[in-house]
Amino acid sequence: MLKAILSPFTEKVYAVLRIFSGFLLTFAGAQKLFGIFWPPTYPRPGVGSQVWIGAVIELVAGTAIMLGLFTRCAAFVCSGMMAVAYWQLHVFGGQAQGIGKFLPGVNQGIPAALLCFVFLYIACKGAGPWSVDAKREAAKAGT
C-alpha cells in the first residue's frame, strides 16, 4: 500500500534530495571561504591550502548539483572529495583510537560518509527533473 502511495513521487523526491544535498555543500563551502553565516564555525583557510581547495569545490560543485548543471561530473567529484574527507580527517586525523577510528559513529564521520554515497548515487543517476541538465536534454531532443 505504501509503495502505491509513494511511487508516483519518486522522481520529484529524488530532485529534492539532489537540490538539498547540493545546498548543504554550497552552504558549507561559503561558510569556510567567506566566514559568513552565524556562528562562524571555521577559520578562513589560506588560499591554495587543501581546506581552501575543498571549500572551492564545495561551493562550485555544490551549486552545480543544486542547479542540476553538469550534475554527474560535479557529484562524482564531490563523492571523491567526501571520501577523502572521511579517510583523511575522520579516520586518520581524528581522535578515535583502535577499531573505533574506522567507525563513523565513533570518529564523527557520519556526515562525510553519508554524503560520499549520496553524491555517488547522484553521479550514477544524473540530474533528474527540475534541473538545467533536464532542460538541456529536452532542448537537444527537440532540435
Query: 90-127 pLDDT, tens per residue?
Result: 999 988 889 989 999 999 999 999 999 999 999 999 99
**Residue 36 is assigned to a structural domain of this protein:** yes
Predicted local distance difference test score (pLDDT) of residue 43: 72
- The total of structural domains in the chain comes to 1
**Residue 5 is assigned to a structural domain of this protein:** no
Dist. CA 100–CA 91, nearest whole Å: 9
User: What's the domain range around 23?
Assistant: 14-142
Whole-prediction pTM: 0.89
pLDDT band for 74, please (50, 70, 90 cuts).
very high
**Residue 2 is assigned to a structural domain of this protein:** no
**Residue 25 is assigned to a structural domain of this protein:** yes
**Residue 55 is assigned to a structural domain of this protein:** yes
**Residue 8 is assigned to a structural domain of this protein:** no
